[in-house]
A and B are shown apart, each in its own frame.
Chain A
């Protein structure tokens, strides 16, 4: 599992690659949480790009819930986008689709939450 972070204006796009299960959920949490909690980024809006995530277990989903709660406590947002079919089905079966804001792509999410970030992304 690998995590990459890219900043566009006031939004962080966190791209997750690989699989998240009970073995590496802690590692994922360690990689994700600082972007929601330490304030050094100056952003409290995070878009999780899951287009390269192949699988997520209950342990990974629990990390997402903890992260979303943390973002909300800081008046921020955690949004997941571009779920692969298997991951989307796991979200649906776990009912995370009822508690998590989802978009089809990073662009769609940025258009909704920060046009400035979308412009920054388009300008490369």
Chain B
């Protein structure tokens, strides 16, 4: 299974500013001084020697993750603004060939659905979009954001067939060729994580989820939910100190809790996700470094791989 991250930012899409780009170029030129003469050397230098936060960016699109299981259909988790580049990629690859798109929704907050009006395949006759979720008002939310005065193209004008399917939390069910188990999570208005199982591989998509880990029963539930997962995509938006103080009950989690739950669950790979929109690339990179260190100093036999999601990243499990 190949997992593609089209949008990884939390709450609000962001973009680099002119000052951010200038800073990256200055840092790169200083680091490269006297060491790079040809394009090939420059390419190698950028790839191998510059820190990722200088040579690249974590990106700024909001939540959208694709699970590619090798089938003709497309499978997405959430349709934040990352759904826009995803749709353009599909159009470039498949042109006019009709396709089915399965979308699993964590919840209906704007950053998780705001890319849908810009999902080009939804405007193509012959395509089918199936939107799955556990909330009652999914269809209402999608129709509302297309309605005037929010958007100029009404939902009824979408040329693809769009269906809504309600899933039952806690129940393992076969959907789009995968075994899918939704789980209720702590977030304003509720959110749902998804455990996807396919061909012996397990991916958990768990965003917009707060954990009060002193609640033993809840912690055990999530350890079961993440159990032996090959990849856990985890909301690590804030520091732990924030989530238990000024941002308590804001419905998000931290890198520390991600490491703890994955260690207890013996998951193989933790991917930090739903980055705080005010964080710079350097800040996100430092959170990753600290998380790697935490895993190292708290490891008890079971090694946990850790990465930080960026727009355009692919993970193969």
Contacts and interface: CB of A to CB of B under 8 A. Distances in A.
B255 to A, nearest CB: 7
Contacts of B294: 89-90, 93
Interface string B32-48: 00000000000000000
B290 interface: yes
Interface string A85-106: 0100110111110110000000
Interface string A44-72: 00000000000101111111011001000
A89 B216 contact: no
Contacts of B240: 58, 61, 94-96
B241 A89 contact: no
Contact of A58 (B245, B256, B290, B293): B256
Interface in A1-43: 22-23, 25-26, 29
B261 to A, nearest CB: 9
Contacts of A90: 256, 294, 297-298
B255 A29 contact: no
B244 A93 contact: no
A99 B241 contact: yes
B245 A26 contact: no
Contacts, number: 70
Contacts of A26: 214, 216
Contact of A55 (B216, B293, B298): B298
A95 B239 contact: yes
Interface of A is mostly: helix
B293 to A, nearest CB: 7
A55 B300 CA distance: 12
A55 B297 CA distance: 10
Contacts of B239: 94-95
B291 interface: yes
A30 to B, nearest CB: 11
Interface string B186-223: 00000000000000000000000001111010010000
Interface string B233-272: 0000001111011000000001111001000000000000
Given A89-B293, A93-B290, A22 B242 contact: no
Contact of A22 (B213, B255, B291): B213
Interface of A: 22-23, 25-26, 29, 55, 57-63, 65-66, 69, 86, 89-90, 92-96, 98-99
Interface of B: 211-214, 216, 219, 239-242, 244-245, 254-257, 260, 290-291, 293-294, 297-298
19 contacts: A22-B216, A22-B260, A58-B240, A58-B254, A58-B260, A59-B214, A61-B240, A65-B245, A66-B244, A89-B294, A93-B290, A93-B294, A94-B239, A94-B241, A94-B254, A95-B242, A96-B240, A96-B241, A98-B241
